[in-house]
Amino acid sequence: MKTMKWLLRRELWEHKGAFFWAPLVIAAAMVILMGGGFAYSMAFGDATNFQWQGQNVVSIQGFPQDLRYKIAHVAATGYLGVAAPLFMVLAVVVFFYCLAALHDDRRDRSILFWKSLPLSDRDTVLSKVITALCVAPLITIAIGVATSLVLLLIGMIAAAGKGLNLFAPVLMEPSLYLSPLYLLAFLPLYILWALPTVGWLLLVSSWAKSKVFLWAVGIPLVSLLLLFWLNFMISPVAPMQFDIDFIGEQIVARMLGGLMPGVWLSEVDGSSFSHMKNGLDAMLVLGESYRTLAKPGVWLGALAGAGMIYAAMRLRRWRDEG
């Protein structure tokens, strides 16, 4: 356990810029740009009028009480949505981290130093898997929640400057406090959906001598193109053909796109969310998301990802060339 703790610390020390500083810089930019827009609206906008669904409401005296609580509910349930750019950055960061995880120490020969230590290949690879699937998302979630709260506060101050006081109704909303917990509840789902991509990238990183990105992206895409060409060639004489749509969506897309948070929503029936007109229903989204685990493809992909991670451990035992 102590060995794994130090291996995880090593990953954080070596990739602090990607895992911590990159989302922090983007979060700061979001606060400056979006918060600055709120501040500008408060300072130079018309403080006596407030627009809501095409309706012009004059100050707080003319603002209906039920409408004020409706706005507060929407703000409290959906404030974490502004952190979406950070989770897109997370997918890119983890993608390139996994590509370099087992390749860089072979390229610079530092693998010889690490193999001289009493560290197993299993623990080394698992530390990178845990970093990609748990540590990096948790850091992004923490920064995302903090950023969303800061922007929510600035937005409420801007609204108060226009005569609309949302502090009391927003603070009374349970969703304000539960939303970060809902976000954490998506983490096990993210891990299962991301396992095929992490496994594939680590497998390529463990054996590719160079051009890791081209190998990782090129093999699935070229294979898909070859199958498409083969279908075209045999279509006049063969009644049976490869299901290109299935292979593209369930294999290639899972291998390359599983790190994008919310990718499982493509498997959810959109009509389930049709009645969400008064803010985000996090419990409904969470429930519909976990229903995707009833599909065997999720578990088959996770097993395939685990198998590729095991193969990466085996390859690391003898791949030490530069």
Q: Per residue in 111-143, pLDDT tens?
A: 554 555 557 888 889 999 999 999 999 999 999
The whole-number pLDDT of residue 257 equals: 93
pLDDT tens digit string along 226-240?
Answer: 998 888 888 776 666
Around Cβ 56, how many Cβ atoms within 10 Å?
A: 10
User: Does the structure show a pLDDT above 90 at 27?
Assistant: yes
Q: What is the dihedral of CA 279, 282, 284, 285, to 10 degrees?
A: 100
Model pLDDT for residues 191-222, shown as the tens digit of each residue = 999 999 999 999 999 988 889 999 999 999 99
Q: So what's the pLDDT on residue 236? A: 72
Residue 202 has a pLDDT of: 96
Measure Cα distances from 165 to 189, 199, 279 in Å.
37, 50, 19
Task: Give the pLDDT confidence score for residue 26 in this predicted structure.
Answer: 96
Query: How far are the Cα atoms of 60, 156, 163 from residue 41, in angstroms, in the given order?
Result: 17, 12, 13
Phi-psi region of 54 (alpha: psi -120 to 50; beta: other; left: phi over 0): left
- The three-class DSSP label of residue 298 is helix
**Tokens found for residue 122:** 């299993």
Amino acid at 15: H
Question: How far apart, in whole angstroms, are the C-alpha atoms of residue 182 and residue 99?
Answer: 30
Query: Where residue 322 falls among pLDDT bands split at 50, 70, 90?
Result: very low
Q: Do residues 149 and 170 touch, judged by C-beta distance below 8 A?
A: no
